[in-house]
Amino acid sequence: MAVPYDPNFTMAITIGGQIEIDDDLEHDESASAAIVAVDLISSARLALKLDSVYTEYSAQYLVDNARPKDRHKKKDRQRGKNRKLTVKDCLEFALKKGIPKAEDWPELGSVSKPSSSYKPALVSMKGKVIEAKNIEEACDLLIDQPVGAKLHLFSPQIDLVGDGIYGGHSGEEHGYVGLRDGIILGVEKIQGKSIATVKLWYKKKFQFVKVALSRMFFDSARGIAPTTLLVDYCVPRLSIN
């Protein structure tokens, strides 16, 4: 049973002893980042009427191509190949290089790759990636478009929240899952507190979660300084010219 949301509780402190939870065994950070990035792009293009309908772009293309490449040193090349993508990485690549529609590239997770001679039609994405330093700046960006972010997840709290409000842990038994990519869709006031609606990529699917923006936590064992549950805000600011 989920712990009821308490709007007056603001800071949870962990001083070691809590375990890491790995119940999302198939989580792929790069795939997650790419999925969220293309969703942000599709939403931004529809809002600006650059696309007449919501158009799906290829997350797998970003997974295959968006990792940084260094041609000088073998060790650096391998490091770039193994580095996990972030939403910012994916957005910057798409805006600089363009990206094909989902129908023009293999599906996400496909083991088959097009021949080296195949060149998909790329949709040009003029613009830049904007980052917000805090939730206040993220809310300003939210006026115009959904905002990408990462959410600190605790189990079993995230799995039991249902239609309630997710506030991390409140001192009760918990395990730390890690950060997961999501999209802030809007913010509203509930019981006098700001609550975000987040489209969260978790366990290989999107789910909608209401997140308490005033809730913070501090975890000395993992070196996590006092932080809000949502972090790492960014958006693709597209140009219509």
In terms of C-beta density within 10 A (0-12 exposed, 13-18 middle, 19 or more buried), how is residue 235 classed? buried
Position 17 scores a pLDDT of 46
Position 196 scores a pLDDT of 97
Beta-carbon neighbour count of residue 41 at 10 Å? Answer: 26
Position 221 scores a pLDDT of 79
Position 184 scores a pLDDT of 98
Give this prediction's pTM: 0.87
- Looking at the domain that runs over 12-69+83-238, which CATH code has it been given? 3.90.70.10
Q: Give me the average pLDDT of each 10-residue run along the chain (241 residues).
A: 60 55 74 98 95 96 85 52 88 96 94 89 94 95 96 92 89 84 96 94 95 88 87 94 72
